[in-house]
Amino acid sequence: MEIIIQPTYAGLTEVAAEIIRDALLKKPSLVLGLATGSTPIGVYEALVQMHQTEGLDFSGVTTFNLDEYVGIPSDHSYSYHTFMETHLFNLINIPSENCHIPQSTAVGHAEFCERYEAAIVAAGGIDIQVLGIGKDGHIGFNEPSSSLGSRTRIKTLTRRTREANAPHFGGTVDAVPKMAITMGVGTIMEAKQCLLLAGGESKAEAIANAAEGPITAEVPASVLQMHPQTVAVLDEAAASQLKRIDYYKEVYANKLELLAQEG
Ligand code: GLP
Q: Is 220 in the pocket of ligand 1 (CB under 6 A)?
A: no
- Which residue from 90, 19, 16, 102 is spatially nearest to 58, judged by alpha carbons? 90
Quote the CA–CA distance of 112 and 109 in Å, as a whole number.
5
Residue 105: what pLDDT? 65
Q: Whose CA is nearest to atom 10 of ligand 1?
A: 132
Task: For 109-140, write each residue's pLDDT tens digit.
Answer: 899 999 999 999 999 999 999 999 999 999 99
Residue 106: what pLDDT? 59
Q: Please count the other Cβ atoms lying within 10 Å of the Cβ belonging to residue 215.
A: 15
Quote the CA–CA distance of 40 and 261 in Å, as a whole number.
31
- Which residue from 232, 260, 59 is spatially nearest to 133, judged by alpha carbons? 232
Q: Is 89 in the pocket of ligand 1 (CB under 6 A)?
A: no
pTM: 0.96
Residue 170: what pLDDT? 87
Q: Whose CA is nearest to atom 12 of ligand 1?
A: 37
In the chain, which residues have pLDDT < 70? 105-107
Quote the CA–CA distance of 139 and 124 in Å, as a whole number.
22
In sequence order, what E strands does the chain have?
A: 2-6, 31-34, 62-65, 67-69, 99-100, 128-131, 153-156, 179-182, 193-198, 230-235
Residue 168: what pLDDT? 82
Q: Whose CA is nearest to atom 9 of ligand 1?
A: 140
Q: Is 248 in the pocket of ligand 1 (CB under 6 A)?
A: no
Residue 263: what pLDDT? 77
Residue 84: what pLDDT? 98
Known catalytic residue: 143?
Answer: yes
- Which residue from 98, 19, 85, 86 is spatially nearest to 59, judged by alpha carbons? 98
Q: Is 184 in the pocket of ligand 1 (CB under 6 A)?
A: no
Candidates 127, 136, 235, 236; catalytic one: 136
Q: Which atom of ligand 1 is nearest to the CA of 133?
A: 10
Q: Whose CA is nearest to atom 13 of ligand 1?
A: 37
Q: What share of the chain is helix, strand, coil (3-state, %, to 5)?
A: 45, 15, 35
Length reported for the chain: 263
Known catalytic residue: 190?
Answer: no
Known catalytic residue: 127?
Answer: no
- What's the 135 CA to ligand 1 centre distance in angstroms? 9
